[in-house]
């Protein structure tokens, strides 16, 4: 029986997953990464940590599965999108990777938009140039660290740096490349007009593949370092959102995912690229060959709950460790004691700026409506509700775009919480389903590896063979109109505070 491996280079850690041809998980491993924030609004990681996590994760997953490396037919790579790994002529990392949630490049994004022209940029890339995207990071390096820029010979996305170490190949694939502001989304290739306008040579960038295609094979040195078999095929894979969508079966019209991980994403399949006229969502290439997707992004979804846990819930973390349970379980049990609406307490989850529907790097988190009646249970529930309100913003944009939405599949860590699923169903007024798989992007790229290895004839066949619905959470009728009223206030809060966010960021950047 052939086995398939998926590796997801996430923001907080690397997951290695092994499945069989039925889609059953037979082995896995997880190894954490650290995150550096050297300045307000900055976020960086050392790519060496990813590679160490891969080197540790592969043999651990093989051992967990009880199989040998030569039983792995192929592997796929997924990873956090938009990050910039700058390499010199010897493939050495020049500086820490600037991550997707980093907000330092607003001036560079404005410059890119002016140089290319807003209409031309959207025509080529189907999106505005946003601070999280890769192009702004390249220009930032050129402007702010010219000595480092002079050394650059290649710029790779996070998962593609791991591909280089595994296969020796400079390669990416269309879904991850879509988030660079340098890809022609309709033609699925690097945009010469954009590159020329920015003075960037295409040789800086890797070759672009469709996601299920084999992009290289494991080298002898990588096999020695990881325990894989030399010659194992490595497929293109996918950016974490497209890969997670494959892992959720979002490969046909009408099926939409709502993912609550570190970020939150509402993701819909498209046969043809459609662009929101107000540019509030992202239109990218899908990991399904010749297909596209539209997605709305909340930068701090599960990240907001993690911040709350780490900042205010030390006793719960300690108790959870003693009980052998997830600390989030204790927090959500506490949140369940508060009533819907939290007695007027609202939370804006803009801890690292925001994308949809507000592409605003200056937006910041807010608790609004605090009174003496509010206890910690209200604050925890307010975070859960605030993230759900942010996700609803994306659903509302999809409705205005005419995106078909016949079935919502909840995924990510937040989907494991019955309370959070219920809140999301109530806030959106839409049933939320779960599926038989909870492995997300790593599972998706394992399926893509199966297509590349010939185990499946297509991505659609791979999903049909392995994914099925498991549960359904219907909205509670009396909660829907209540949350509609709260959501209106939630939206008005951002509009009221928007000018002040920029002022606060200026004060932090230049105190006094």
Q: Look-up: residue for tokens 């295409």? A: 202
Residue 75 per-residue DSSP state: E
Calculate the alpha carbon distances from 392 to 379, 386, 411 in Å.
Answer: 20, 10, 15
Element spanning 235, H or E:
strand 233-239
Active site residue 396: no
Q: Which of 8, 160, 176, 240 does the annotation list as catalytic?
A: 240
Rg (CA), the chain: 22
Instruction: Assign 207 to helix, strand or coil.
Output: strand
CA distance 44 to 393: 28
Closest to 74 (Cα-Cα) out of 444, 446, 442: 446
Q: Look-up: residue for tokens 């490049």? A: 105
CA distance 307 to 497: 22
CA distance 59 to 66: 10
Element spanning 150, H or E:
helix 146-151
Tell me the two tokens of residue 334: 């506490």
Residue 398 per-residue DSSP state: H
Neighbours of 24 (CB within 10 A): 11
Closest to 48 (Cα-Cα) out of 62, 37, 34: 34
Contacts of 44 by beta carbon, 8 Å cutoff, 6+ apart: 35, 36, 37, 38, 96, 97, 98, 99, 102
Instruction: Assign 410 to helix, strand or coil.
Output: strand
Q: Look-up: residue for tokens 């290289």? A: 216
CA distance 140 to 486: 39
DSSP string, 161-194: HHHHHHHS--EEEHHHHGGGT-EETTTTEE-HHH
Contacts of 341 by beta carbon, 8 Å cutoff, 6+ apart: 385, 482, 483, 486
Closest to 332 (Cα-Cα) out of 408, 414, 260: 414
Residue 126 per-residue DSSP state: S
Calculate the alpha carbon distances from 273 to 116, 285, 338, 396, 455 in Å.
Answer: 21, 8, 42, 19, 29
CB 295 within 8 A of CB 340: no
CB 379 within 8 A of CB 308: yes
Q: Which residues are catalytic?
A: 240
């Amino acid at each position: 029986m052939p086995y398939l491996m998926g590796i997801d280079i996430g923001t907080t850690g690397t997951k290695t997953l092994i499945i069989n041809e039925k889609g059953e998980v037979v082995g896995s491993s997880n190894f954490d990464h650290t995150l550096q924030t050297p300045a307000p609004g900055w976020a960086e990681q050392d790519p060496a940590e990813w590679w160490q996590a891969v080197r540790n994760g592969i043999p651990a997953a093989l051992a967990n599965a009880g199989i040998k490396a030569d039983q792995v037919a192929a592997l796929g790579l997924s990873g956090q999108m938009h990050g910039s790994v700058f390499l010199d002529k010897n493939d050495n990392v020049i500086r820490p990777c600037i991550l997707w949630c980093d907000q330092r490049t607003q001036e560079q994004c404005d410059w890119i938009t002016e140089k290319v022209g807003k209409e031309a940029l959207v025509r080529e890339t189907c999106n505005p140039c946003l601070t999280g995207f890769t192009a702004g990071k390249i220009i930032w390096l050129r402007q702010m660290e010219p000595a480092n820029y002079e050394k650059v010979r290649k710029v790779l996305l996070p998962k593609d740096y791991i591909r280089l170490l595994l296969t020796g190949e400079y390669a990416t694939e269309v879904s991850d490349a879509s988030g660079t502001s340098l890809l022609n989304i309709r033609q699925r290739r690097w945009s010469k007009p954009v590159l020329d306008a920015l003075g960037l040579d295409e040789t800086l960038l890797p070759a672009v593949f469709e996601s299920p295609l084999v992009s290289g094979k494991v080298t002898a040195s990588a096999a020695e370092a990881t325990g894989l078999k030399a010659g194992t095929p490595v497929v293109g894979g996918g950016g974490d959102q497209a890969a997670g969508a494959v892992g959720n079966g979002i490969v046909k019209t009408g099926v939409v995912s709502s993912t609550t991980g570190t970020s939150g994403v509402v993701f819909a399949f498209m046969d043809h690229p459609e662009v929101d006229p107000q540019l509030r969502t992202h239109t990218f290439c899908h990991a399904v060959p010749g297909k596209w997707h539209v997605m709305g992004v909340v930068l701090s979804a599960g990240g907001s709950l993690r911040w709350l846990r780490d900042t205010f819930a030390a006793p719960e973390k300690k108790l959870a460790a003693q009980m052998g349970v997830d600390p989030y379980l204790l927090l959500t049990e506490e949140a369940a004691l508060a009533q819907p609406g939290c007695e007027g307490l609202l939370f804006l989850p803009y801890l690292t700026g925001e994308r949809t529907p507000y592409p605003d790097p200056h937006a910041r988190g807010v608790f609004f409506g605090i009174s003496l009646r509010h206890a910690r249970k209200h604050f925890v529930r307010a975070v859960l509700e605030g993230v759900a309100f942010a996700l609803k913003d994306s659903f509302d944009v999809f409705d205005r775009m005419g995106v078909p939405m016949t079935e919502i599949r909840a995924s990510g860590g937040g989907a494991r919480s019955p309370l959070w699923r219920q809140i999301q169903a109530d806030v959106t007024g839409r049933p939320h389903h779960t599926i038989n798989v909870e492995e997300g992007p790593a599972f998706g790229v394992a399926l893509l590896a199966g297509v590349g290895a010939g185990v499946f004839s297509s991505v659609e066949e791979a999903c049909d063979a392995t994914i099925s619905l498991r549960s359904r959470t219907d909205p509670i009728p009396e909660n829907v109109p209540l949350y509609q009223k709260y959501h209106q206030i939630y939206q008005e809060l951002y509009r009221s505070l928007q000018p002040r966010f920029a002022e606060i960021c200026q004060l932090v950047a230049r105190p006094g």
